[in-house]
Chain A
Amino acid sequence: MNISRSNYEIYMIDFLDGKLNQPETDLFMQFLEANPDLQDELIDIRDAKIEPSSVRFNSKKILKKSEILNFEGNLFEEECIAYIENDLNLAQKSDFINNIREDSNLVTQYKQFKQTKFIADKNIQFTNKNSLKKRETTGISRKILYMVSSAAATVIIAVSFLFVFQNTSKIENTFAEADFDSLMKQKIKAEQLSIEKSILSQMKLLKPPVIVAEARNRNSITVTPIVQTNELVAENKREIQQPIEIISKEIQTVKVNSIITTYTQPILYATNYQQDNFSEYKSIPNYFKNQIAEGINSLEFPKEKVNLFSFLKRGLEGLGRLTETDVKLDKEFNENGDLTAYVYTSDLISFRREVKK
């Protein structure tokens, strides 16, 4: 080892760092004694040593990446967002605030993140709320309401059919009977009166009976005159007959005085009482009423058990007869006789509703 003035700095720094062994140190000390001006330089270099600083880099999170989220931002940005989203607990929030407090750059970034929070503008309102609302029902579900309404409507229709046409048929029958009877009786009476009148008038025209002969019965006191009169002939000889009982089922189409009714089944109360221009028929409403009454009478309604289902069934059948459509409401039973379903059939629609157990 040869220390000279051209390479002494290296040995000087190694000496200050403590890297020289003992023989090298002794040799270096001998060199310094031979060159006293370099001893001051050694002292200066020794005193120029810098102590390590205590300053810390607090923004490491800016450099770090998220370990949990697949998030492109750094750890600081994630913490900012987590703080805003309230995803941090109290301790974490406290640490966060302490970490950014001393760094204005971090505070600025946090404020920018805070500004990304949207606030709803209450002035924006949907103005046409009434167009969205529906009519309220009073606590009863729509389903039940529909069922009850349908049943009530059917019952009302069925009962109205029964009531109206039953009464109507009674009234109509009464009217028919009264009408026919009274009319016929009136007519017969009138005819009788006219005949009597004509007879009387005829009789008035006749000469008083002439006693042609006296039948004398010598032995009798009374004398029986033999009266010869002309044959009494009424002007209009009528064959008076008793009015026959009219049976509605025996109504037939009858041609009366060349007047043909326009109904397919004209209703005429025909008699063998010949009367000019006398005929009786019913109007169109009466025709329909008669048809329905006839239909209802054929159903044997009073004999069946009366319940809601029977009301519905008869009401629908009556409606079907009136509209000349096929409408039926029936029940289906299984092998054990248990009710399984209700079946509704019509010309337009058919459906089957199973009975829930």
Chain B
Amino acid sequence: MTSQEYNICVDKYSDNVFRFVLKQIKDEDKAKDIVQDTYEKLWIKASTVSYEKAKSYLFTAAYHTMIDSIRKDKRNTEFEEIHESMFTNDQETPDLKEQLNEALNRLPEIQKSVILLRDYEGYSYSEIGEITNLNEQQVKVYIYRGRLALKKYIGQLETLI
């Protein structure tokens, strides 16, 4: 990959990678750092990664960097979630988007990632499998389980309403 092609990848995919990471990290500064690290890794490997594979490489690198970051901060995150749940008013009626975001945050990391890769980028099961180091069947199961959990959460809220 030439430096020109690399710069094209910056223009084409940096927003997508940023959205994908931000949706899960919830911290804009950390998400930007992850995007920076991801592109730096691509630059280092520019001589071995072709332009056609660049998008896949970016999401793979971003996914693994993000997972490492999440696991590193997991203790603090769990602490915050526990304390936040004490003050949540379950009788509130947020709109659908907020419901979905809330539901997404409750999913396990892997289900969250595969659903976002599927919905945001339109990756196939096999492509998602390459990014996340899973086989096609595992990806399908995680997506189905994730959608089921999201639907049940939405259904519960509608029932309350």
Interface positions of A (Cβ within 8 A of B): 69-73, 77-78, 81, 84-85, 109, 112-113, 115-122, 124-126, 128-129, 131-137, 139, 141-143
Contacts and interface: CB of A to CB of B under 8 A. Distances in A.
Nearest to B103: A116
Contact of B7 (A85, A134, A139): A134
B3 A137 contact: yes
B57 to A, nearest CB: 14
For chain B, which range describes its interface: under 10, 10 to 19, 20 to 34, or 35 or more residues? 35 or more
Contacts of B32: 126, 128
Given A81-B147, A125-B15, A120 B3 contact: no
B65 interface: no
Interface string B118-147: 111000000000000000010011011111
B141 A71 contact: yes
Contacts of A120: 16, 19, 119-120
A137 B46 CA distance: 13
B110 to A, nearest CB: 15
B4 A133 contact: no
Contacts of A131: 36
Given A71-B141, A124-B18, A119 B119 contact: yes
B116 interface: yes
A4 to B, nearest CB: 60
Q: Is the interface of A mostly helix, strand, loop or mixed?
A: loop
B51 interface: no
Contacts of A122: 15
B92 interface: no
Interface string B84-127: 00000000000010001001100000000001101110000000
B22 A136 contact: no
B18 A81 contact: no
